[in-house]
Structure 1
């Protein structure tokens, strides 16, 4: 039995926008490409897969590099790209979840699972990366840091769908702050987490 939306798509009688399957990639303006390259590769673990090169039709391209995460052992054409713009203003002195003078609030990056996420947290702490926030959200457990340009970066792992899909709005509104320094910043609670369901 087909749903009304499936029948609408197959008939070609589209009455509204097609819902995308998701975001494909993100391009960030950065002040210093080499500095940002180091952050996105050596700190966050992305791999460079390409770089914009001069050609007869584009003799003076901007400095731009392309990066991929790990997609089941394969590289994507790019998940994120960095393009140098030396005219960008300096980053704010401190990062905050809201009220920043930045067009992008933060960029969320998914780790494959809880174990990989915990290993990444330990690695970042060993590199003396400042943990701005640690939060148990209703649908993810998250760490917030920032890049050299002041962009917020959320590193997360997803909780199982059956934890949050029963009431997505309630899960989005759930947030428990977790320590950001010392050994406690590397702990992750898995027992006693709430399960979100709409009232029947």
Structure 2
């Protein structure tokens, strides 16, 4: 059903809340590996984490999922959580960290508007780590829609960003 309502342009997705099977293991991934900070704990069953002191970007809980198996790749559910890095150098830095920690990467892509690294958290939830190109460099189709694609991301070139200051 189409209505005349348009969501306000400044609307943002504030956070994602994930069901996990092991809170400690998830905190090791999101905090120890990716670098998020714990903002608060709800006993031993839930944690809220953020970047930069926000109340939370990600909630993690075991309320209905403690010790359950990993998320299925098939079926309905969350495809991935996308974490936006402020600069290409920041994306290169986290990619380099993942390489050093030998954390498995499931893919990468240049989408024209962004560059992305894909991986799974310990529960099999998809995670996209990405950087947006400046909006003024995006391309548009004649009908005004954004040109997006999935091309190979030159990961060696991305790593060169670390040495460029």
TM value normalised by structure 1: 0.68
CA distance in structure 1 between the aligned counterparts of 2:150 and 2:145, rounded to whole angstroms: 12
The answer to whether 1:149 aligns with 2:123 is yes
CA contact (8 A) 2:51 2:57 kept: yes
Give the match for residue 150 of structure 2: 175
Worse-superposed segment, 36-45 or 158-167: 158-167
What SS class does the counterpart of residue 128 from structure 2 fall into?
A: strand
- Report the RMSD for the aligned CA atoms in angstroms: 2.5
CA contact (8 A) 1:111 1:155 kept: yes
Number of residue pairs the alignment of both structures matches: 152
Give the match for residue 162 of structure 2: none
TM value normalised by structure 2: 0.81
Q: Give the deviation of 1:141 after TM superposition.
A: 0.5
What SS class does the counterpart of residue 171 from structure 1 fall into?
A: coil
CA contact (8 A) 1:48 1:68 kept: yes
2:93 to 119, 127, 135: 119
- Structure 2 residues without counterparts, runs of 5 or longer: 160-165
The answer to whether 1:16 aligns with 2:5 is yes
Q: Which of 1 and 2 has higher RCO (CA within 8 Å, sep 6+)?
A: 2
CA contact (8 A) 1:106 1:151 kept: yes
Say which one has the larger Rg.
1
What SS class does the counterpart of residue 147 from structure 2 fall into?
A: helix
Give the match for residue 114 of structure 2: 140
CA distance in structure 2 between the aligned counterparts of 1:157 and 1:147, rounded to whole angstroms: 19
CA distance in structure 2 between the aligned counterparts of 1:30 and 1:102, rounded to whole angstroms: 16
Alignment of 1:17-166 (within 5 A): 18-19=7-8, 21-53=11-43, 63-70=45-52, 75-84=53-62, 85-86=65-66, 88-92=68-72, 100-101=74-75, 103-164=77-138, 166=140
- Structure 1 residues without counterparts, runs of 5 or longer: 1-14, 54-61, 179-183, 190-200
